[in-house]
Structure 1
Amino acid sequence: MKKTIPKKIHIIGSVGSGKTTLAKELSSKYNVPFYELDNIVWERHKSGDIRRSEEERRGYLNTILNSEAWIIEGIHNEEWVTNSFHNAELILFLDTNYSIRILRIIKRFAFQKIGLEKSNYKPTFKVFLKMFKWNKYFENVGKPGFFEKIEVYSNKLLVVKNRREIKNYFHF
Structure 2
Amino acid sequence: MRIDIVGSVASGKTTLARRLSEKYQVPFYEKDNIVYARTSQEDIRRTKAERDVLFQEIIGQKDWIVEGSPREILRESFITCDYIIVLDVPLHTRLYRTLRRWIRQRIGTEKYNSKPTLEFLYCNFKWVIGYHQERATLIKDLAMQSDKIYFFKNGIEVERFLEEYF
Question: Are 1:161 and 2:153 counterparts?
Answer: yes
Matched residue SS, 1:11: strand
Q: Secondary structure at 1:155's aligned position in 2?
A: coil
Whether 1:53 aligns to 2:47 is yes
Q: Deviations over 1:97-141 (max 9, x none)?
A: 110001100110111111111111111111011101001111102
**What residue identity is the alignment partner of 1:102?**
L
Amino acid corresponding to residue 10 of structure 1 in structure 2: D
TM norm structure 2: 0.94
- For residue 163 of structure 1, report the CA deviation from its aligned partner: 4.1
Equivalent residue runs for 1:52-91 within 5 Å: 52-78=46-72, 80-91=73-84
Please give the alpha-carbon distance, in whole angstroms, between the structure 1 residues aligned to 2:69 and 2:154: 17
Off by >3 Å, runs of 4+ in structure 1? none
Note if 1:28 corresponds to 2:28: no
Among 136, 156, 159, the residue aligned to 1:144 = 136
- Is this contact kept in 2: 1:77–1:146, CA < 8 A? no
User: C-alpha offsets along residues 54-106 of structure 1, whole Å, 9 cap, x if unaligned?
Assistant: 2221111000001111100000331x212111111000000001100011001
Which runs of 5 or more residues in structure 2 are unaligned?
A: none
TM superposition shift of 1:162: 2.8
1: CA distance between counterparts of 2:18 and 2:137? 26
SS in 1 for 2:147: helix
- Paired residue type of 2:102: F
Q: Which runs of 5+ in 1 are unaligned?
A: 1-6
Tell me how many residue pairs correspond in the alignment: 164
TM-score of the aligned structures, taking structure 1 as reference length: 0.90
